[in-house]
Amino acid sequence: MTEPSGTNIEGEAPRTEPVVETDEATVTDGAELERTIGLSGGLAIGIGTMIGAGIFVFPGLAAGRAGLAAAGSFAIGAVVALLVALPASELATAMPKSGGGYYFISRGIGALAGTVVGLSLWFGLVFATAFYLVGFGYYAVDALAELGIAVGGDLVIPLALLFGAGFTVLNVTGTENAAKLQNGIVALLLSILLVFLGFGILDAVGIVGEPSPPERFFPPAVVDASYIPVLTTAALVFTSYLGFAQVATVAGEMKRPGRNLPLAMVGSVLVVGVLYVATIFVATSAFGSARLAELGETAMVEVGRHFLGSAGAFVIILGGLLATMSSANASILSTSRAIYAVSKDALIPGRASRVNLKYGTPHVALGLAGGPILVLTATGRVELLAEIASFLHLVMYGLLCVALIVLRRDEPEWYDPSFRTPGYPTVPVLGAVTSFGLIAFMQPASQVLGVVIMIAAAGWYFYYARDVTLKGAL
């Protein structure tokens, strides 16, 4: 096994040491690190991160772009996510460490790719969290309106900022374990959605409610260039699938990682994929895509009202608030782990991984997450935030598939995954091609900003840590 070597510009070297991984703990020379997250916890992280965006924010936006075929866009996203989740699962069982995608790529491909991905993951999560918070802001305003306090759309951003700052402070000072709460919220969300879908499907097939006029599968205006809007919409809504790899950022804390990591990652993609497609189908059949598009970010509230009156609207608002909050909170936690992983490898200053003495929380990393999140939230650009988040994640997903192929072609001695990707090499090759391919269908502004962030990350590597070698070092 190669050791990581070299130092960064401040003379810090990557901190690594031999460890023994068991199902229940990581055993180092002097201490043990307990694995405490079970399968349900892993699924809650995956589903809890994803479900906020896809169901509660995107339906209106997606319907405006792709019409009834928006369901197809979500299906494409699910297929891409699944093609990546399988290789990611294999890598995670071979390297059950905190840091997830960053760790696999830095060890499989090298420090340059690792730095680009590690910093992109940080920013990708920051963009995603800002997007969730803006979504939360829309739901908060709707909730106030439902309570008879009409505040108008001007309060969306201030409310999002308020809660974003609140989350950051809570994460620094809060020592209560919220994991059980997160599991409960996810279970509640899934039940809300299943009831909603039950009514919706009965309505869509005409058993209850008034018959709705059939709609053409592609919106009339774009029927000639039919597949393009479906793909650009898929690129936009892919943000709804950014949660499964976040499971890998806590890989070092998962019990029985060989079993639980693949189940949690693949399982959460399958669960949300099916829910998304069904929800979009129900929403577009209830209202038609044009009306849905007019309703914007909180279109689902009106869909809920359509099926179940004000109780339905209330339940969807509650779901939207909980879902966007749980997405934001789970992402902030992943961000601090992503920052820790790059800082441990000396790619950014070691100070970033300091732990606060009073609360025992990583306050520097949380600040490095929360600060930029607030700045981005202030822009309020839902679609741009979502696409850049997707862009940065898709780069990681593509490289993750590449890392799997590199590792498989010349398996190092330590490479011993307990889960092996079925359909190798087709699945990782398709995963890489579709991940990079989806980027091509984004808005030019997102593409440019995404590339700028990656170039900046590469520049940082050459300035700060060019002597650090990580390839092949477990």
Partner 1 sequence: MTRVLVPVAILERGAVSSGLASLLSTTDVTVLGYHVLPEQTPPDQARAQYEERAVSALEDIVEEFAAAGGDAEFRLVFTHDREKTIDRVADETGSTAYVITGTTGDVDRLLVPLAGDVAVDRILGFVTELVGDREIDVTLLLAVDDEAADEGRALLENAAERLTERGIGTATTLSSDRPFDALADALPSHDAVVVGEAAPSLTSLLLGDVEERVADATVGPVLVVRAVDSPSPSR
Task: Check residue 337 for interaction with partner 1 (CB under 8 A).
Answer: yes
Question: Per the omega criterion (within 30 degrees of 0), is the bond before 220 cis?
Answer: no
Q: What's the CA gap between 270 and 257, in Å, rounded?
A: 19
Shortest distance in whole angstroms from residue 227 CB to partner 1: 43
Binding piece for partner 1, criterion CB under 8 A, among 49-57, 114-122, 143-151, 248-256 = 248-256
Residue placing its CB nearer to partner 1 in the complex, 45 or 133? 45
33 binds partner 1 (CB under 8 A): yes
Q: Which helix (H) or strand (E) holds 61?
A: helix 58-66
Q: And the tokens for 240?
A: 């709804």
Alpha carbon of 175 to those of 108, 274, 356, 424: distances in Å? 35, 35, 12, 43
**Minimal distance in Å, beta carbon 114 to partner 1?**
18
Query: Helix 382-409 vs helix 444-464: angle between axes, to the nearest 10 degrees?
Result: 50
Nearer to partner 1, 358 or 409 (CB): 358
Binds partner 1 (CB under 8 A): choice among 86, 140, 143, 333 = 333
Q: Could you give the C-alpha distances from 198 to 181, 213, 279, 371, in angstroms and in order?
A: 26, 20, 10, 41
Which residues face 250 on adjacent strands? Answer: 98
Q: Which residue has the tokens 């709707």?
A: 142
What's the closest the beta carbon of residue 260 comes to partner 1, in angstroms? 14
Sequence-ordered list of residues with C-beta below 8 angstroms from that of 294, at least 6 positions apart, any chain: 60
Binding mask 142-181 vs partner 1 (x if CB under 8 A, - otherwise)?
-----------------------------xx-xxxxxx--
CA distance 236 to 252: 31
Which residue, 353 or 390, has its beta carbon nearer to partner 1? Answer: 353
Min dist. Cβ of residue 207 to partner 1 (A): 42
Alpha carbon distance 173, 170 (integer Å): 5
Q: At what angle do helices 179-204 and 299-344 cross, to 10 degrees?
A: 140
What is the Cα–Cα distance from 155 to 357, expressed in whole angstroms? 36
The residues in 388-417 that bind partner 1, with binding defined as CB under 8 A, are: none
Binding pattern for the stretch 35-54 against partner 1, x by CB under 8 A and - elsewhere: -xx-----------------
From the CB of 217, what's the least distance to partner 1, in Å?
Answer: 44
H or E segment and range at residue 33: strand 32-34
Q: Which is nearer to partner 1, 72 or 99 (CB)?
A: 99
- What mask, x for binding partner 1 by CB under 8 A, covers residues 347 to 376? ------xxx---xxxx---x----------
Asked if 295 and 64 touch (Cβ cutoff 8 Å), the reply is: no
| Minimum CB distance to partner 1, residue 343 (Å) | 9
For residue 109, the SS3 value is: coil
Asked whether position 447 contacts partner 1 by CB under 8 A, the answer is no
412's tokens: 């190092």
Region from 154-162, 302-310, 334-342, 422-430 binding partner 1, contact rule CB under 8 A: 334-342
Structure tokens at 200: 């919706």
158-166, 208-216, 246-254, 421-429 -> range binding partner 1 (CB under 8 A):
246-254
List interacting residues with partner 1 (CB under 8 A).
Answer: 15, 24-26, 28, 30-34, 36-37, 98, 171-172, 174-179, 250, 252-253, 333, 336-337, 340, 344, 353-355, 359-362, 366
